[in-house]
């Protein structure tokens, strides 16, 4: 079993930045991938970004060029640096780890982009 704990969410103005953290209860080197999804009120959960073994990354088109995912293996933590935030980025952001055949989810952290 793996626990994932997200932090770093909050209220930010449009154009601002936040950095989300996802701390895992065991080595993230054991994972095949670890990443982020988000869910806005009344909408389906959507993929945001993911980092694989070997530090290969991919991003949703809506966040490319604005968000960066990276990892600190020594801290068992993955980060999502979010710049140039827009109101449409408002959502609960959830951390997701894939360690086949299992996947794990965190509880989420709220990000609100509003003036």
pLDDT tens digits for 61-113? 999 999 999 999 999 999 999 999 999 999 999 999 998 889 999 999 999 99
pLDDT tens digits for 19-37? 999 999 988 888 889 999 9
CA 80/CA 38 separation, integer angstroms: 12
| Lookup: tokens for 109 | 């952290």
pLDDT tens digits for 37-62? 999 999 999 999 999 988 999 999 99
Residue 50 CB neighbour total at 10 angstroms: 20
User: Do residues 23 and 89 touch, judged by C-beta distance below 8 A?
Assistant: no
């Amino acid at each position: 079993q793996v626990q994932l704990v997200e932090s770093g969410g909050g209220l930010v103005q449009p154009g601002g930045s936040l950095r989300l953290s996802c701390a895992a209860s065991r080595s993230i080197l054991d994972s095949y991938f670890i990443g982020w999804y988000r869910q806005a009120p009344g909408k389906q959960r959507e993929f945001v970004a993911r980092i694989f073994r070997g530090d290969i990354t991919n991003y949703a088109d809506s966040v490319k060029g604005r968000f960066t995912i990276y990892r600190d293996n020594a801290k068992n933590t993955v980060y999502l640096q979010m710049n140039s935030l827009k109101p449409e980025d408002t959502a609960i952001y959830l951390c997701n780890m894939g360690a086949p055949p299992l996947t794990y989810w965190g509880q989420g952290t709220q990000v609100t982009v509003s003036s």
